[in-house]
Structures are given as structure tokens and as C-alpha cells.
Amino acid sequence: MTLKSTNTQRIKTEAKRLGFLSCGISKAQFLEKEAPRLENWLRHNMQGEMQYMENHFDKRLDPTKLVDDAKSVVSLLLNYFPSEVQIENTYNISKYAYGTDYHFVIKDKLKQLLQYISEEIGEVGGRAFVDSAPVLDKAWAAKSGLGWIGKNSNLLTQQVGSFYFIAEVIIDLELEYDNPVTDHCGTCSACIDACPTQAIVQPYIVDGSKCISYFTIELKNEIPNHVKGQFEDWMFGCDICQDVCPWNKFSKAHNEPLFQPNAQLLSMSKKDWEEITEDVFLKIFQKSPVKRTKYQGLKRNVNFLKD
């Protein structure tokens, strides 16, 4: 066994011990295929008001611009599929936002992974990324064989579907690299057919500015009237294209205590949400990603659905 394969195995074993669903590794190099796709997506203004998507174009495509002398991108998946969901006929919150904000949970695990690498392997330079820097998470995860990017533009895997977070550690250590897997969407168009705002404009291309998640989270102004009646009771995020995906029949409940929802959240009716006070909002979403919309943002979303 070479040192390279020993180090690769060590990192994957530690990732599993830290609770990650899976770990794949790819060579840190310019994302040639993704460059024209990203350029085209931006040219058609599919980022809407998400101006941060226009920044750091080069860094998004080249990990060596984020970490000096980067050699490997270690991609990791962390399951968030819940064992229980909200009651029926209520205003819905995307499942990823049920518990503690994933940025904190994953960042902590990645810090531990980097610490393990420096203690067990030696002085390795690197950085951890959780959806907060210009990194094309799904592209790297697909490159490292953790799944394929589906028609809804989410990373899909045959074993566990798509209800997981993607994170990565970019390091200046050469490792053994994994190979991409094949696409298993076939002729299925369930996600395209189910999207109420027609945000999946063609297979594998999602217009971010038409997505319910964009309207309920990213958009800071009033939600435009032309999408009224199209949100199917989603008040924060949207899981429709994941819920209908056949591969999510294989999703299994996570075992991360920090992702457990506040019990009150699951049982609240439409009336409860319509009458929610700021105190209750802060109590339920104390450490949740829902805090991003703030109380006023959630009220705006609920009122838009209610009227």
C-alpha cells in the first residue's frame, strides 16, 4: 500500500467516524466543463438578485485560487433527512432547515477533519468550505464519484437520494482520486413536471430566479404577484423536486442530534404560523437557517401564501 493510498484511506475513515455519509476525492484542477455552463447561466440572469453568484468567477472554477498549491478536493456529504416531518396542511419549511444551521454543524466537523490530517499525516495546508465561499460543491462532489447531478440540478445518489449537505476540504496533499459515476435519471422527468414555478427550464438547468427557494429566502423585496398561488404552501425553501425524485425512496433518517427539529415546529398549523410572534419565532428558530429571513421575512412569506 502506497503512502498516498494510506493517507486517502485514513481521511475517508475519519470522515466516516465524524458522521459524514460519504467522502470522495478529486484532483484540484480547473473545472473546464463547468466554466461555459456557469457563464451561460449568469448571462441569462438565472441568479436573479443573488449577486454573490457573479463574484469570484475564477475562484469558483479553480481551487488553486482558493488554496495555494491545492492538490486535492475532498468532498463530503452529510445526511439531513428527518425521521419526522411537519403536519399535513400547514405552511412548509424545507427539511434542511428543521434543526441547527448546518454551517455551524459541518464547519465544526471539517475543523476536526483538518486537525486529524495535520496530526496524523503531517503539516498539510488547507481550507474547509461549507456553502459560504465560491466553490461549486455539486460539481466537485460529482467529480469525486459521490453521485451525479440530476435534472433538478441536485446531486443524486442511487443509495441515499439527495437529502444531504455537501462540503469540502481543499488541501495541498496529493491523494488517490475517485472516478465520476454515471447518470441514472434516464427518461424520468418527475422533478420537471412537479415544479410549480417551472424553474427547471430544461433538464439539468434550473433558473434560480424562478425557484420557490429563491423567492422565500434570497429575495429581499416583495414577492412578485405573477407567482401568486404557485408556491404550494412553501414558506421557506422548497423540497418539491426532491420529494418527487424516485431516488429519494432510499433516503434514511439522519442520526445527527443537532439536526433534530424543535418539536413545536412540526406541530404548528397554518393558523399558528399566521399568528406567530417574534418571541416564538426566535425560540423555534434560535439556531436555525430560517433566521436568515428574519421574523419580518417569514411573515412576508406567510402573508403572501395566505392572501
Known catalytic residue at 58: no
Residue from 131, 172, 243, 272 carrying the catalytic annotation:
131
Local structure of residue 98 (DSSP, 8 states): S
Beta-carbon contacts of 158 under 8 Å, excluding residues fewer than 6 positions away, are: 184, 247, 250
Burial class (CB in 10 A: 0-12, 13-18, 19+), 127: middle
Neighbour-count burial of 146, counting CB atoms closer than 10 A to its CB (0-12 exposed, 13-18 middle, 19+ buried)? buried
Which of 153, 298, 296, 303 is closest to 237 using CA atoms? Answer: 298
Burial class (CB in 10 A: 0-12, 13-18, 19+), 187: exposed
Amino acid, res. 130:
V
* Cell numbers for 116: 486529524
Q: Which residues are designated catalytic? A: 131
